Amino acid sequence: MMRLLLAIALLCPLAALAETALERYEAEDYKGAARLGLRELADAPKGAKTDELRLAVANSLAWTGQYDLAIPQYKALFGTRYDTDARIGLANVLRWNGQADLADPYYREVLARDPNNAEAKLGRELGGRDLRPAVTVRGGHTSDNQGVSLNEFGLSYRRWTEDLKGRWEIGALTGQMDSPQGDFSPKGVQGSLWLPQAPFAPKVEAFVYDNGISGARLFGAAQVEPIRDKLRIRVARVDWGRLAFSGAATRDGLTAGMLGIFGATSTPLGDVRARLDAYDISDDNRVLDGEASIKPAWQPLPAQVKWITGVTGRYADREDPRYWSPHPAYGVAFLGIERGWYLDRLDLTASARRSFTFTETAGDGWSVGLSGKYWIARALAIGVDAWMVNAPRPTPYAMRQVGAFVQQLW
């Protein structure tokens, strides 16, 4: 009996290794199918059987979030008997990656040949949620343990050009900010224009904002993406009191110039993201704020819970009691988990982090967040965003925000 068990133990791993990518795909082991399939494709000859394998690999990569690797596999199937499946698969990947403007033409190509294709019709309808004109009404409350609170109400209108090469948005907001340094009634109007398919995907924003004490002032931003969604550079002029959530900085009318860079890439070790923002404040202080994180490729947690880790830091030329300006630098390492639920009518994400200090200006902390959007009708959605942060600096500091919105498509 012991010999039999030993033989089974030795043979099971070998049997698993002998399985093909298509067998793993049929067993709904999409991670295994993607891993094995990429190896098999490297040596596979051209032909119908290889095309079948390539579609299984492309789907497996897409369904496990490996979008960058899935895209060329789908494109390699154009002109084959799997052309329709490949175009729908590619469109879905682009839509899931937040690029509904690039996905829509592929859906339309399929529907031009097959007007009753259910997958293409559904994909285009879901993508239209990001592409159709929309009015959004939003309200929110933010507060901290320093006695600062902000209630804000906003209204915005978004519209894409007919060719989906540009998107513009206008909006207005009003609110009430209470703080130990005074009470203020901020209000403003804003507008933006984004050309995502132009070289460098330029975006410009303008914001006329009155913080309730300094009068109306003009703020704005310009942004380019040398690699869309992968590398972003942004310059801006901002209201520092609003950004720093500080009654004292609001009272003194502080502003700041900002230069920010964001990057994201997929590596064999996992998905890496990093940002660094530099602020030149009108009181001649300078603040650097940044974060780097990785979502490892190795994800052993059950129920599709993902884990991430990284570091967060902040540094100021000098400490100023009016706003968070750590000197020496603030730094924490964090370990977090997140889970997303993405259904036809519901998008919901939840996250939690635990941070551990490695500098004298920080303390161990934690944060939790929840974001969701539910479509109660084909053109009407409601949503909520909420988070809480406990982040000693090193004295106790806690902040919380809850917001809700209604969006109507046209």
**Structural domains in the chain?**
17-130 (1.25.40.10), 138-409 (2.40.160)
Q: Residue 300 and residue 193: Cα distance in Å, rounded?
A: 42
Question: What local confidence, expressed as pLDDT, does residue 44 receive?
Answer: 83
The pLDDT tens digits of the residues spanning 342-384 come to 999 999 999 999 999 999 999 999 999 999 999 999 999 999 9
Query: For residues 216 and 295, is the Cβ–Cβ distance under 8 A?
Result: no
pTM of the model: 0.89
Hey, how many other C-beta atoms are within 10 angstroms of the C-beta on 317?
Answer: 14
Q: Please say whether the beta carbons of 52 and 26 come within 8 A.
A: no
Q: What is the pLDDT of residue 17?
A: 44
pLDDT tens column, 193-230: 999 999 999 999 999 999 999 999 999 999 999 999 99
DSSP letter for 181, please.
T
Mean per-residue pLDDT over the chain, rounded:
94
Angle at 99 between CA 95 and CA 100, to 5 degrees: 60
Residue-wise pLDDT tens digits, 394-404: 999 999 999 99
pLDDT score at 196: 96
pLDDT band at 175 (very low <50, low <70, confident <90, very high): very high
CA dist., res. 342 & res. 30, Å (int): 18
Distance of CA 155 to the CA centre of its chain: 22
CB-based contact 201:225 (threshold 8 Å): yes
Residues in the chain: 410
Q: List the Cα angle 316/320/326 in 5-degree steps.
A: 40
d(CA 149, CA 182): 11
